[in-house]
Structure 1
Amino acid sequence: ELEDEYEAISLQYEGFKFSVQNDSLLYKLENERAKVLRLQEELRMTKASDQAEIKRLKDELSTLRKVLRSYIHQIDSLNRLNEELRAENQQITRQYKETSRTLTQVSQEKEELSEKVSLAAQLVATNIAVKAVNNRGREQSRLSRSSQFVVSFTIARNITAEPGERTIYVRLMAPDGTVLSKSPSHTFPYENREILYSMRRIVEYGGEEIPVTLYWDIEEYLMPGTFKADIFADGHHIGTHSFTMEE
């Protein structure tokens, strides 16, 4: 019977090896199990008539049970602590993810607001008109009688736009897609590249509407058809207008 009890307690110590991750406690358990194995060996060597030795071994068994109960309590405490730490870690992870999502959302909203403010601050060209005139300033419908294109428009009122000096660019495009320009060096930045302009004008903008007129001297042969005038400012396309000329 005593040998069975030692075997049972030995198996209990052996079983704890797989549930304990604390190195210090595992070391103590290994020592106690070694003690159990040693006592088991002593029990096998003890004669049934040796009552004094059997009593000593029973006392040792009682002590081992107390130690085992103490270790069970420590293991339970550690397991509870691990569960609490695991739950706390999961909560922290959830909070971190929620905070990250919130920060991402705030960043996106800030970016969207910035884009809206930037869009609201853009200049807009209105009342765009293009006409061809002869040397006397009279409007013409035929290219053969025209010496100049006159491009006029109004920069609309915009109190959200930053006041100051602005460079306005106009691109005149012929029916064949050619951009009219006096020099290949007449370029300006637009959408990460340099593009040709036909005319430009520097204006002082204070938030109120301002009229702008630019002139293009016709010095080249132009095919009849539909022409296009595009207006740019601050890196943005702010207006467009098409017009048709006869030969």
Structure 2
Amino acid sequence: REEIEDLLAKVKDKDYAIYKLKKETKTLRTIMKGYVVTIDSINTLNVGLRKENLEVKQTLNKERDRSKELQKNNENLSSKVAIASRLDVSGVSAFGVNVKRDMTGKETDRSRRTDKIRVCFSLNENKVAIAEKKNLYLRILAPDGKILTAGETENFKFEFNGLKGYYSDKEIVDYANEKVDVCLDWAKPSEDYEILPGKYMLFIYAEDYEMANISLTLK
């Protein structure tokens, strides 16, 4: 009888163990289902985040392209305004000047009689340009290839076309967007200075860009 009772007790213990295992298994299944739901939610969230991230990247790319296009348009507009605001000239003439004792001048085409080389022109109206004082320069290339200078120090140099060189004369004009007549002169530095016969090239600049050029031949 004791053996039977022992066996019954063991059976009860096993039944309880089985019950406990089943209960734990059920609990684990419930937990696993929760994990699966959580994982599904995370996956769904990740898909949404990836989609949102892609949309953000696409928006950023569009904004970058738009910004580049606007920058390009602004640069083109600035370039057009800069070109439109450049001054230009008309009625350009060049000649030699013989200075008399009474300091009056007479036009000449003879090199030995020339005391000055003069260029005259009209600075045209330009409503786009900034109304301000403008630096105008004359640069004369002599027949021997040398520049006729106003002086030989750095103070007589200016920047043009990305270079730096001597000018022959400089005039500051108070430009008010209206047409104005201007003359620039180069005077020989001394009485015994020899002005060569031949072809001279005269270049007219406003600030750092060339407005016009003209040739002059002295006999």
Short-chain TM bin? 0.7 to 0.9
**Amino acid in the other structure paired with 2:50:** R
Among 70, 79, 87, the alignment partner of 1:115 is 79
Q: CA deviation at 1:224?
A: 4.0
8 Å contact 1:125–1:231 — kept in the other structure?
no
User: 1:237: which partner in 2?
Assistant: 210
Match of 1:149 among 105, 117, 127: 117
TM-score, with normalisation over the residues of structure 2? 0.79
AA aligned opposite 2:108: E
- Equivalent of residue 125 in structure 1, options 86, 89, 97: 89
Q: TM-score, normalised by structure 1?
A: 0.71
Q: How many residues align?
A: 199
Contact kept, 8 Å, 2:150 with 2:186, in 1: the verdict is no
Q: Which runs of no fewer than 5 residues in structure 1 stay unpaired?
A: 1-46
SS state of the match for residue 50, structure 1?
A: helix
Name 1:166's counterpart in structure 2. Answer: 134
Q: Distance between the aligned counterparts of 1:123 and 1:191, measured in 2?
A: 15
Aligned match for 1:184, one of 152, 157, 166? 152
Q: State the 1:64 CA deviation.
A: 1.4
Amino acid of the residue matched to residue 61 of structure 1? T
Question: Any gaps of 5 or more consecutive residues in structure 2?
Answer: 1-10, 101-105
After TM superposition, give the deviation of residue 222 of structure 1 in Å: 4.3
Q: Is the 8 A contact 2:139 2:167 kept in 1?
A: yes
Q: Residues 101 and 74 (structure 1 numbering): CA distance in 2 closer, same or farther, change over 3 Å?
A: same
Bigger relative contact order, structure 1 or 2 (CA pairs below 8 A, ≥6 apart): 2
Number of the residue aligned with 1:88: 52
**Distance change (3 Å), C-alpha of 1:127 and 1:195:** same
> In structure 2, what is the Cα distance between the partners aligned to 1:215 and 1:234?
17
Equivalent position of 1:29 in the other structure: none
Quick check: 1:62 aligned with 2:35?
no
Structure showing the higher strand proportion among its residues: 2
Q: Distance in 2 between matches of 1:104 and 1:177?
A: 47
Equivalent position amino acid for 2:47 in 1: E
Give 3-state SS (helix, strand or coil) of 1:112's partner.
Answer: helix
Aligned position for 1:139: 108
More displaced, 122-131 or 235-244? Answer: 235-244
Give me the whole-angstrom Cα distance separating, in 2, the residues matched to 1:190 and 1:101: 36
182, 193, 200: which is aligned to 1:227? 200
Match for 2:169 among 196, 199, 207? Answer: 199
Structure with bigger helix share is 1
Q: How many percent identity over aligned positions?
A: 28
